[in-house]
Structure 1
């Protein structure tokens, strides 16, 4: 367990740095800003003009006055479509509609007012510019239309991070860790990215990626308003990682009720066989994926209080072919003629008459009773290597058994969000998310026998965030945010909880039903391991509590942002090695063969 808090020196240094540099504060975690200048037809600035931004879906509005230089800033606006209105006595009202704001955006929108009555209007639709000129952030925003329309493997929004320059898939090794997309940004490692959801920390936090995802919550694409990936020059408040910043936002409700019901099907009946299967004469492997869910959002109180909720289930069954090396029928009888190395005799620990070095045999009368039972856990070979088919000596040791199991993954998740606008100067939101993943990896040799790392895995992620912003004056804005996330990763071997040792005559190993089960991990030279894996079971629970407050002050053409953040990171875990014991017959020190040593129990 560890806790981190900013020291007094750090806070003072940060404050001094801000005061010395005097740079405009452009950081919004999950919101956006509209800035600009209001002038008349001759280009003279207009002070005291009233500028109002109204969100088209909710009717929520934010009003501010231009300063002595005709400048205005509309900060901390929720992402979405806005209408901006500018009014000043003696001039026609200017209206710009359908302004789409993206997360972390600071949009420059200038107005030129024409002389006339305030009852007259000049209406312009769309954004005033296409280029982002207010920040040096190198990034890309993916909006809701792209999220839902572009084809995505498993409907994972993080796949679209690859649209950004400098982002590539990670290696196959880490990709196989779970159901999320792992990617590298500008050459940085996949776990060095920083994920946020609604401005809250969304990074999994464990000792060895036990959660099998870099995110606590992987929101469905139909639940997202948009997300932005920034790979370079992002704001200092994101500066906790060397990789990219992935900032996502859950949808909010509006004055109209909107909902979606969806379903996606990928069935093996529509798939063709792979080239490898065709060459080997095997049937095509199973791959079925069913994704279903729904979203709904609307008003609780018009223009004041809104809700949004979503649910999604993802169920995937995928064929998983695994190879193993198992003892042949002759070896189970003590006949080791298929081994390339000769047997040795004369070791004082080997009983006389048990090893026939000429015929390469171990006498069944000398078999250890536990070994005689354990070797029966191995299935018989069902394939032959090319060397074995050709009758070449020394072919044993190559895979001679294939298991065609099914990898099963079931994911249930939901999000609930509330947004409130109690007054024109205050806004509040809260969101809770839940995600449960059950992953069953088939054991290559069976539940008790399998010594690989295939397991039953349960991962539960939870995330909650609440935020409040208040406009103190036309030049001062405050914001407070609190968030909590928790992710629990439990990994069980297939024989977890079984009293298998007593069934095979293995004694002397303590048993705790909370952790143990199965037989000892048994390493036999030349064969696939037997028994429970080394690092199973594993239980890890990580939590992150984050509190932040900031104050933004606008002075002339500059904006100043001051803030403090307090976070607590905590990990509790049980990660035990060889809890059921470990038996090694790998060095062939007694008979010249690991299998021979095993059969004799040496």
Structure 2
């Protein structure tokens, strides 16, 4: 039994962002920010203009004013659709609706105001807007909620969508393979770098298992269900200071928040062998389609606790899988378990065109030659030394320190009792021949439950807090080639693996002034994995 406990205690210190003139936004890992300059019709800067960004889902407004050079910055904006308004006495109000802000985005919107009454609103549609990325040189792509929820996924694992981003390569696996990656999820190579070197961030909190063999099935501690995620961003190169330390890529994920409307869903996805085609190897052996019963069910609910101020969101998903997997292996023949390997004895072996003679224990020719598949008595290593052995030459069939003595008829006369008990663990062949002569279709089981809940509270115009807790439990049994104790010789990826995860994060955002922002994060992760073969 291999038991691994992993405690990751992360304490994100106060991040105080100070600037003199233009506010430079850092540490926007799980939120977005906007910046820009406001000018009048002649291009002169407009100081003191109010910039108001309103979240269309929660009706929470965040505002600031332009500085002496007409610049403004709004930070800690939850990814969503926004309405951005610029208000200044003597000018018409410039309103831009349906502005989509994504996770980790640093967008820029410049405004040129028109002289007129402040009560007159000039609407600008998103089709006419240009979101410049001059504030961030990192390269990557955002997988938004529409793609997360609508693209088909065989296992409903959101991280299968990572390959939607240029520069990523999936780490495919099959249940019939014996590699360590068997059953692993969310593994992608970014620009050729191994998946273990990626940096996963969930709601601004470190979400890496820091595991060497990925016994937890994933390099992430917490893997919430796909229906609990808002969107995620994959940064493939040119990391900024807030997302560095990854040799591979950075994957920043945000969970959903509640809104002013109660929204929820219930679902169950079913898959069985009626919908599946038979696999190649089962077809070749004339075996019927293996068992397949896959049920994924759950639901979520989100809404207001206090309209325009406090919101909740909760999500649950359960997975139950029973899947037949074909195992093809080589087992000893029934006669071989008792030491009879006569059927393995083949043609004579030649070295340099000459057959290799067998000598008696006293060094005289026995009249026999070495044959393929021949078994020699290991005791001859000590009982029959070769006085003509030349240590200055390469040891081989014609130059050994002892005279090998074959078992008569290729039948082992004496078998160690421990070896006999070990041989009895292996089943008898089910197919013909001496190689790949055994096949069976055992059942893989995979049961998982995961729960995510989140609370958001807008205290006032300058302070907001949030908390998110995610729990996961998974028990997965991958059968071996033979069944029973003999499977202890298989890969470490097989057997029974149980994993429990806890992931907690709390955050507090405080806008001290238009140029000073205080962001606080506290996180605690626990992954407890147990493997038994």
Would you call these one fold, judging by a TM-score over 0.5? yes
The Cα of 1:300 is off from its aligned counterpart by 0.7
The Cα of 1:331 is off from its aligned counterpart by 2.2
CA separation in 2, counterparts of 1:247 and 1:449? 43
- Is contact 1:262-1:293 (8 Å) kept? yes
The Cα of 1:310 is off from its aligned counterpart by 0.5
The Cα of 1:272 is off from its aligned counterpart by 1.6
Q: 2:171 maps to which residue?
A: 170
Q: Secondary structure at the match of 1:148?
A: helix
CA separation in 2, counterparts of 1:197 and 1:425? 24
CA separation in 1, counterparts of 2:259 and 2:295? 30
2:180 is equivalent to residue 180 of structure 1: no
CA separation in 2, counterparts of 1:91 and 1:59? 25
CA separation in 1, counterparts of 2:112 and 2:507? 35
Q: 1:40 maps to which residue?
A: 40
Q: Secondary structure at the match of 2:289?
A: coil
CA separation in 1, counterparts of 2:215 and 2:196? 12
Q: 1:139 maps to which residue?
A: 140
Alignment of 1:342-357 (within 5 A): 342-344=374-376, 347=379, 357=407
Aligned residues: 468
Q: 1:79 maps to which residue?
A: 79
Q: 2:156 maps to which residue?
A: 155
- Is contact 1:175-1:181 (8 Å) kept? no
Q: Secondary structure at the match of 1:219?
A: coil
The Cα of 1:373 is off from its aligned counterpart by 4.1
CA deviation map 1:327-364 (0-9, x unaligned): 2222234422122333445937999xxx993333345x
CA separation in 2, counterparts of 1:4 and 1:272? 46
2:283 is equivalent to residue 243 of structure 1: no
- Is contact 1:336-1:361 (8 Å) kept? yes
Q: 2:410 maps to which residue?
A: 360
Alignment of 1:264-279 (within 5 A): 264-279=269-284
Q: 2:49 maps to which residue?
A: 49
Q: Secondary structure at the match of 1:158?
A: helix
The Cα of 1:103 is off from its aligned counterpart by 0.7
- Is contact 1:175-1:182 (8 Å) kept? no
TM-score of the superposed pair, with normalisation by structure 2: 0.81
CA deviation map 1:4-31 (0-9, x unaligned): 999xxxxxxxx9xx999x9944441111
Q: 2:462 maps to which residue?
A: 425
2:500 is equivalent to residue 452 of structure 1: no
Q: Secondary structure at the match of 1:270?
A: coil
- Is contact 1:26-1:135 (8 Å) kept? no
TM-score of the superposed pair, with normalisation by structure 1: 0.72
The Cα of 1:269 is off from its aligned counterpart by 0.5
CA separation in 1, counterparts of 2:9 and 2:319? 36
Q: Secondary structure at the match of 2:252?
A: strand
Q: Secondary structure at the match of 2:136?
A: coil
- Is contact 2:448-2:475 (8 Å) kept? yes
Q: Gaps spanning 5+ residues in structure 1: where? A: 7-14, 389-395, 494-602
**1:483/1:2 Cα in 2 relative to 1: closer, same or farther (>3 Å)?**
closer
Q: 1:336 maps to which residue?
A: 341
Q: 1:314 maps to which residue?
A: 319
Q: 1:530 maps to which residue?
A: none
Q: 2:62 maps to which residue?
A: 62
- Is contact 1:287-1:318 (8 Å) kept? yes
Q: Secondary structure at the match of 2:325?
A: strand
CA separation in 2, counterparts of 1:382 and 1:212? 33
Alignment of 1:492-511 (within 5 A): 492-493=532-533
- Is contact 1:174-1:182 (8 Å) kept? no
Q: 2:506 maps to which residue?
A: 466
2:520 is equivalent to residue 480 of structure 1: yes
Which structure has the higher relative contact order (CA within 8 Å, separation 6+)? 2
Q: Secondary structure at the match of 1:429?
A: strand
Q: 1:381 maps to which residue?
A: 429
Q: 2:126 maps to which residue?
A: 126
Alignment of 1:2-41 (within 5 A): 24-41=24-41
The Cα of 1:188 is off from its aligned counterpart by 0.8
CA deviation map 1:315-337 (0-9, x unaligned): 22332222333222222344221
